[in-house]
Chains A and B, each alone.
Chain A
Amino acid sequence: MSDMTNTQAAPQQPASTAMIVTLSLIAALSGFLVVSVYQFTKPIIAENKRLAIEQAVLQVIPESTAYQPMVLDNGKLMKPGETEGGITIYVAYDKNKEFIGVAADGQAQGYQDKIQLIYGYKPACECITGKKIIKLAETPGLGDKIITDAKFNANFDALSAKIHKSGTKLAHKIVATNPGKKNFPWQIDSISGATISSVAVGKAINDSAQVILPQVNRFLAKLKEERYEPVIQQQ
C-alpha cells in the first residue's frame, strides 16, 4: 500500500496481512459508526427540512395553513413518490382544507453567488403573493436588503402573473426595473444600490413561473375539486 509521508526508515515490512486486517477492521468500524448515526438522524433531518419548507410556504401564501408537495413531471401532476424527476411544487390549503395556491422554488445568479427563493402564487388573483429568500451570499448591508427592505417586499404582495392566452407561458415577463421606474403590476421596483440582487430575484421568479404557472393553471380544476388530503397541519 502506500506509505504516505515519512522519510523514517521502516525497519522490517510487517506482514501484509497485518496491514490489511487493520485497515479492514478500521473500515468496518468506521462504516458501522457512520451508518448508525445516519439512520438515527435521518428522520430528524427530514423533519427539519419539512418544517423549513412549511414555514416558507405559509409565509409566501397568506391565509394558508397547510401544504403538501407534488411533482410536475412531463406535463402530469403527481404525488412525490410516484416519479423520479420533475419539478416539485408546494400546494397550499387554507383553514378549510380548500386549495388556495401554489409555492415553488426559484433561483438565479445574483451578485456574488446564486440566490434561492420560494415564491407563492394564488390563482384567484392571478398573482404572486410573496417571496422568501432561502439562500443568498450577497453583500451584507447592500444585497441582503432584498430580504429586509419593506418597500421592495411590497412588490411581491400582488405581483401580476397572468397566464398568456396560449396557456404556455406568462402574459408578461416578470422583471425588475430600475429604481422608481415601475409602471406595470408585473414589474418589480429594484432597490437602489442593490440592483443586481433585485434583478436576480425577478429573474428567479420569472424563470420558474414561466414554466410552472401555466401548468398549474391547466390543473386548476383537478387541484380544486379533488381536495388532496394535506399531510401536514399547522396548529
Chain B
Amino acid sequence: MPDNWSFVIAAYLLAAVVLGAYWRHLVKKERELEVHDRMDRPVKSTQSMSVNQSVKGTELRVPGTGHVRSEPSTRRPLP
C-alpha cells in the first residue's frame, strides 16, 4: 500500500490548526478583556472605591510594551 504521507501530514496539521486557532482565540479574548478592564478602572475607582479594592489585583499596564504604569497622580517629580 502506498504511503500517503500527504494524508498523514494533513491529519496532524488539521489537529494543530484547530487547537492552535482555539488557543489564539482565547488569548485574543483575554487581551480584549484586559483592555476593557483597564479602560473601566479609572471610572470605577472614582465611583466605588470600597467595592473595587477587593476585586482586582492586576496593575495598570502600558499597551504595547506591557510594563507596569503608575497613576499620574502618584508620580513625584524628579529631584
A-B interaction: no
A residues engaging B (CB < 8 A)? Answer: none
B residues engaging A (CB < 8 A)? Answer: none
